[in-house]
Amino acid sequence: MREASARVTRLAAVAGAAIVAVALAHGPGSTGASTRLIERAIHAAGGTPILAEDVLAEQVALRGGTIEIGNPIDAFPQRDQSAYVDFLLGEPGGDADVARAQVVLVERHGSAEKRIARNPRFAAVARDAHAVLFVRRAKVAG
């Protein structure tokens, strides 16, 4: 019985080590957008600040773009912090941030994407495995 128990323990240790080795070899999973999508967002913004979810905002800033708000979030006024959190959660309180933006970059299938996808002032113009780029529709004269 002890021999079988020791064999199971060794087998579990080897399997666990193999799983850890594979995870380390692959590294952390990406949650950000592709470089191509970030560059497209920056180009579409034409120098205006991009409203983007946290990781995406960091990517925009690292590529030289301007963001509406980002980390450290406490560097912004409380009103802006609340609106940004509402934007992230897909709540109506985030609509003030969206109203100022020309370009919005959100994670796919998240609450923010679901809310902005229903906003007739924006169109999804590009996406990758992790993010969707929305751009404000041109105003139609009439």
Please name the residue that has the structure tokens 């993010």: 131
Tens digit of pLDDT at every position of the chain (142 positions):
666 555 545 543 443 433 433 333 333 445 799 999 999 999 999 999 999 999 999 999 999 999 999 989 999 999 999 999 999 999 999 998 999 999 999 999 999 999 999 999 999 999 999 999 999 998 755 5
Domain ranges of the chain: 1-28, 35-136
How much is the pTM?
A: 0.77
Give strand pairing partners of 106.
Answer: 132
C-alpha distance across the termini of the chain, in Å: 85
75 CA to centre of own chain: 20
Compute CA distances 80 → 72, 86, 127, whole Å.
12, 10, 27
- Rounded CA gap, 14 and 20, in Å? 10
Quick one: 37 exposed, middle or buried, by C-beta within 10 A (0-12, 13-18, 19+)?
Answer: buried
